């Protein structure tokens, strides 16, 4: 019997002392510009794994073959719920960007619509579009339509007739948002490159292709011709001080909020947005997001905003309106499902390994209410000076909305880190690895031969012993993780103070959204570190449970964020943009943003547009509110 599975094996002893074997080393990373900065990390084993792209629980690793990849995340799916879009009219930058014509939307009685970068019908889902496996579809004769083996010759012929350079064709299911309760729309998706001359031709071609499907008895499938740039989503970057709207944004935003009905508004901001490869070619754009359930007429709202822009002589500024996801970046297994076109899809579960079972809780780890199915990110460690004893006491910080509505014990929410969700994901991964090894043909062949008493080649038996030894090690790991779960060793502490969604005047001179909770760790949980040294231009960095280490650029223009109550009052949030890269995602709420020198800039509370636009609470507002709520006079970032 393997020594790890013997009756004398005690997982609790392993868990108690595992952290004693963590020598430190320094890792030098470089970003896409070639600039380098040090990043410190611990080694718990000799095995090397990439910290960012694997577990949020820091599977303590050595050098990644290409560290640059850890700093950028390519967005392969589109942004959240666009409504009808128009391209920027012209740029107001000092460098003249290419001027493009205004393309309006045309909708006919048959349900076919023509938009910028897309045309089709009769039942297209709202942009953004998420791709799913083709759903079960019933043909006109009652039979089940299967897309396998379907001939696309008619589609290609129609595309050639209308001078459309078809890139790819596929049957897929479409959703505007990865909601497991929404049935995907069966869609024939045709990829092509949109040009100015495409207007009109795409719409007629989509109609003809749809009628061709009907002639073949298939009348329950929509048709779309789409430029894949639309699926990638627009790039978002900060406005520049040289943009005409930059010094006027405060007055423009105030005028919009007082002259336009804000019912259904989710956020109102100003950024450079476009489908170009460079931020220089993207126009300053008023970016308005709406609640998903909003059913207002958007054209009236857009015209009202344009009237305000004309009043300020800002005709070069564009307007974009979209439906958006919920602002809080809290991960929940109950809300989202998996779709094809997300390289790092929302449903992807991070996990822990046995090396993490006794690691100190540190920034970027997951945190949740006790045994909850939704979680966020542990922001880091602060120290509060006890006003009575004068002793500096360590406390953890994260977002309070992670525990909103959770059952509290004597008013104190019990907190887990890692979350139970991550622990269970680690167990499942080990179980899947065990199952895969046991299904190997060699294993089954040798074990069957042993059972039958047949002779086995020495080479085969040697390979079998190696695999069997590895399976025994995996079984031991599974036992350790199960003990860790069953003993609830992941319990972290209790939230002893919090402030959630409170609106009041802050030191940043605007009404700001406040969302924080302080966690006092249990006596048996080790206290981690905030050590993080980043030097890379004027960027802000964070380590989140979902997306790991990412960076974005601070936008000097704040965004108005609206609550979902009847009064629809707004608060002003600081924002970070990632151009086309994902800065944060669901599960990253609570992560702290740092400057290149390691100073804390604020805490991530949420965002929109597939993580390309992130909201955070300024550190000054955060500290002032913590002082007011806790009574502490002095607060500092925990030092090593």
b/e string for 159-192 if b means 16 or more Cβ within 10 A? beebebebeebebbbbbbbbeeeeebbbbbbbbb
pLDDT of 9 reads 34
pLDDT exceeds cutoff 50 at 67: no
Give the best-scoring range by mean pLDDT among 106-110, 373-377, 409-413.
373-377
Q: Mean pLDDT throughout 587-612?
A: 77
Please, which pLDDT band fits residue 192 given cuts at 50, 70 and 90? very high
pLDDT of 286 reads 95
* Chain mean pLDDT for the chain: 70
**254 phi and psi, to 5 degrees?**
-65, -40
Q: Mean pLDDT throughout 214-218?
A: 82
- 52-61, 218-227, 452-461, 513-522: least confident range: 52-61
pLDDT digits (tens, 9 = 90+) for 319-338: 988 876 555 555 454 444 44
pLDDT of 519 reads 62
pLDDT of 454 reads 86
Q: What percent of the chain lies above the pLDDT cut of 90?
A: 14
The helix/strand/coil state of 228 is helix
pLDDT digits (tens, 9 = 90+) for 542-561: 888 778 888 888 888 888 88
7: Cβ contacts below 8 Å, ≥ 6 apart: none
Q: Mean pLDDT throughout 238-247?
A: 92
Distance between CA atoms of 541 and 525, rounded to whole angstroms?
A: 27
Given the structure tokens 């294993």, which residue do they identify?
443
pLDDT exceeds cutoff 90 at 269: yes
pLDDT digits (tens, 9 = 90+) for 349-377: 455 666 666 667 776 777 887 787 777 78
pLDDT of 341 reads 37
Name the burial class of residue 475, with classes exposed (0-12), middle (13-18) and buried (19+) by CB atoms within 10 angstroms of its CB: middle
Distance between CA atoms of 241 and 272, rounded to whole angstroms?
A: 12
What is the four-CA torsion angle of 117, 122, 123, 128, rounded to 10 degrees? Answer: 0
pLDDT exceeds cutoff 90 at 604: no
pLDDT exceeds cutoff 50 at 103: no
pTM: 0.57
Between residues 378 and 72, the one the model is more confident about: 378
Q: Mean pLDDT throughout 160-173?
A: 91
């Amino acid at each position: 019997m393997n020594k790890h599975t013997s009756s004398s094996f005690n997982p609790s002893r392993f868990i108690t002392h595992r952290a004693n074997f963590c020598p430190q080393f320094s890792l030098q990373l470089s970003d896409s510009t070639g600039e380098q900065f040090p990043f410190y990390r611990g080694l718990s084993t000799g095995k090397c794994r990439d910290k960012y792209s694997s577990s949020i629980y820091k599977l303590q690793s050595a050098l990644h073959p290409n560290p640059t990849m850890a700093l950028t995340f390519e967005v392969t799916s589109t942004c959240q719920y666009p409504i009808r879009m128009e391209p920027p009219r012209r740029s107001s930058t000092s460098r003249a960007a290419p001027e493009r014509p205004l393309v309006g939307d045309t909708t006919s009685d048959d349900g076919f619509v023509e938009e910028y970068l897309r045309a089709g019908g009769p039942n297209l889902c709202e942009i953004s579009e998420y791709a799913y496996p083709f759903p079960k579809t019933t043909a006109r004769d009652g039979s089940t339509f299967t897309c396998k083996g379907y001939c696309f010759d008619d589609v290609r012929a129609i595309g050639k007739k209308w001078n459309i350079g078809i890139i790819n064709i596929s049957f897929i299911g479409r959703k505007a948002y990865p909601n497991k309760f929404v049935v995907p729309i069966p869609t024939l998706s045709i990829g092509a490159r949109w040009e100015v001359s495409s207007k009109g031709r795409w719409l007629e071609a989509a109609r003809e292709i749809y009628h061709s499907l009907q002639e073949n008895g298939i009348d329950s499938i929509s048709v779309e011709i789409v430029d894949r740039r639309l699926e990638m989503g627009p790039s978002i970057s900060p406005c520049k001080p040289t943009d005409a709207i930059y010094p006027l944004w405060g007055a423009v935003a105030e005028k919009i909020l007082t002259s336009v009905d804000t019912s259904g508004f989710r956020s109102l901001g100003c950024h450079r947005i476009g489908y170009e490869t460079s931020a220089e070619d993207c126009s300053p754009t008023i970016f308005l997001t709406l609640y998903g359930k909003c059913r207002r007429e958007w054209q009236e709202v857009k015209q009202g905003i344009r009237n305000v822009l004309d009043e300020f002589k800002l005709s070069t500024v564009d307007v974009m309106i979209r439906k958006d996801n919920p602002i809080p970046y809290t991960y929940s297994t109950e809300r989202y499902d998996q779709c094809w076109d997300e390289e790092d899809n929302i449903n992807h579960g991070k996990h822990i390994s046995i090396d993490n079972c006794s690691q100190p809780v540190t920034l970027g780890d997951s945190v949740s209410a006790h045994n909850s199915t939704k979680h966020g990110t542990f922001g880091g460690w602060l120290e509060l000076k006890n006003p009575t004893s004068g002793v500096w006491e360590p406390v953890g910080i994260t977002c309070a909305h992670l525990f909103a509505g959770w059952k509290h014990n004597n008013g104190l929410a019990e907190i887990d880190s890692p979350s139970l969700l991550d622990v269970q994901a680690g167990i499942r991964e080990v179980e899947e690895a065990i199952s895969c090894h046991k299904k190997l043909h060699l294993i089954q062949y040798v074990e069957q031969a042993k059972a039958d008493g047949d002779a086995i080649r020495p080479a085969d038996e040697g390979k079998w012993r190696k695999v069997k030894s590895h399976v025994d090690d995996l079984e031991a790991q599974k036992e350790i993780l199960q003990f860790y779960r069953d003993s609830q060793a992941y319990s972290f502490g209790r939230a002893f103070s919090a402030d959630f969604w409170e609106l009041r005047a802050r030191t940043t001179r605007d009404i700001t959204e406040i969302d924080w909770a302080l966690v006092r760790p249990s006596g048996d949980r080790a206290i981690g570190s905030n050590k993080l040294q980043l030097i890379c231009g004027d960027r802000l960095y964070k380590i989140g449970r979902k997306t790991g280490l990412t960076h974005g650029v601070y936008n000097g223009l704040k965004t108005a964020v609206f609550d979902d109550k009847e009064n629809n009052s707004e608060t002003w949030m600081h924002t970070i943009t990632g151009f086309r890269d994902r800065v944060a995602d669901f599960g990253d709420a609570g992560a702290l943003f740092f400057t290149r020198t390691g100073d804390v800039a604020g805490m991530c509370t949420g965002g929109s547009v597939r993580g390309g636009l992130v909201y955070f609470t300024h550190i000054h507002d955060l500290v002032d509110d913590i002082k007011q709520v806790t009574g502490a006079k002095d607060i500092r970032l925990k030092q090593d």
